[in-house]
Structure 1
Amino acid sequence: MQPYEERLTAPRSWWFIAFLVGVAGALIMLPFGTLPMLGGLIGGAAAAAVVVSAYGSVRVRVVAGSLVAGEAKIPVSALGTAEVLDRDEAAAWRTYKADPRAFMLLRSYIPTALRVEVTDPQDPTPYVYVSTRDPEALSAALSAVRAQ
């Protein structure tokens, strides 16, 4: 069995926006001279790049009998039925169908997701919602671990 691993990286346009934040920093510092302007460019772009990198570095994995989604590590034995969500269904489960008790690892720039029921009676979380670019593969990996 091939383990599942995916990094939910930020889109390229966000990196361009980080550069634009640096340009804005440079323009703010322009009246103070060339060196402060360069500092504003580098500092603003670096700060925005750190934010984009941190937000886009979350990983989704199925390893050692667990679903690891960001900071959450959920044993597959505590999970029930997985539902592959297309663009429209994922949007519905992010908004009006969402349960406030659910664990949601969502990224707005990823249109598809996987919703997995939590069957552990001790856990008040009704389901896990995970944004993923390949929900079918994640579902298959969970099924393969469950079958072992």
Structure 2
Amino acid sequence: MTNYREKLWPAPWLFLSTALVIPASLLVFLPINIFVGIAAAIVLYSGCLTLLLLSATRIQVTETELVAGRARLPLAIIGDVEGFAGSDATLERGQRLDARAFLVIRGWIDPVIRIELLDANDPVPYWLVSTRNPKDVISAIRRAHAQPK
């Protein structure tokens, strides 16, 4: 059973900014042929949209694990979980970041959660994960911890 699910879709400004490939491809291909220029613009922008949509990362909390992208973390080894937003999130992604941390961060999403690991054999001290709803992810992890196994 899933306690929480989120898809980290790219921000709207990314879709808009990739539209700049349209005039760029027209500028390059229109001198060759008008139909080639229009076809190239359509194909290149469609490719950009496809890549943006495929890059959306999944965050999921189940009864037994946290899934962040392709990575899976058993809830049994999760310690303290904290959420950060604004300047605190910027510090967590920058000055306070441990080089050994596992990162699933997206530049277009400001809030992050820091998930401490209890496994002494794991060289990774914590995970830092982008999420638009840090409170919801934290409460889902805590609910899953509280459920009897």
Confirm or deny a common fold (TM above 0.5). yes
Runs of 4+ in 1 over 2 A off after TM superposition: none
For residues 71-97 of structure 1, give each alpha carbon's deviation from its aligned partner in whole angstroms, at most 9, with x where no partner exists: 110001011000111211111011111
1:32-90: CA deviations, max 9, x gaps?
Answer: 011111122112202211222222x1110001410000111000101100011121111
**Residue 11 of structure 1, CA deviation:** 1.1
CA deviation after TM superposition for structure 1 residue 2, in Å: 6.6
Contact 2:78 2:115 in 1 (8 A): yes
Number of equivalent positions:
147
The reply on whether 1:92 has 2:91 as its aligned counterpart is: yes
Distance 2:105 2:75 in 1: 20
Q: TM-score, normalised by structure 2?
A: 0.92
Runs of at least 5 residues in structure 1 that lack an aligned partner in the other structure: none
Q: Which residue of 1 aligns with 2:70?
A: 71
The alignment status of 1:30 with 2:30, answered yes or no, reads yes
Once the two structures are superposed, residues 1-46 of structure 1 have per-residue CA deviations (whole angstroms, 9 ceiling, x without a partner) of: 9710111001111111222212311221010011111122112202
Alpha-carbon distance in structure 2 between the residues aligned to 1:90 and 1:141: 20
CA distance in 2, matches of 1:143, 1:106: 21
Partner of 1:11: 11
Sort the Cα spacing of 1:2 and 1:52 in 2 relative to 1 into closer, same or farther, 3 A: closer
TM-score, normalised on structure 1?
Answer: 0.93
Contact 2:26–2:37 at 8 Å: present in 1 too? yes
Code of the residue aligned with 2:31 in structure 1: it is P
Superposition CA RMSD, Å: 1.4
Q: CA deviation at 1:133?
A: 0.8
Residue pairs, 1:53-72, within 5 angstroms: 53-55=53-55, 57-72=56-71
Give the secondary structure class of the aligned counterpart of 1:37.
helix
- The percent of aligned pairs where both chains have the same amino acid is 30
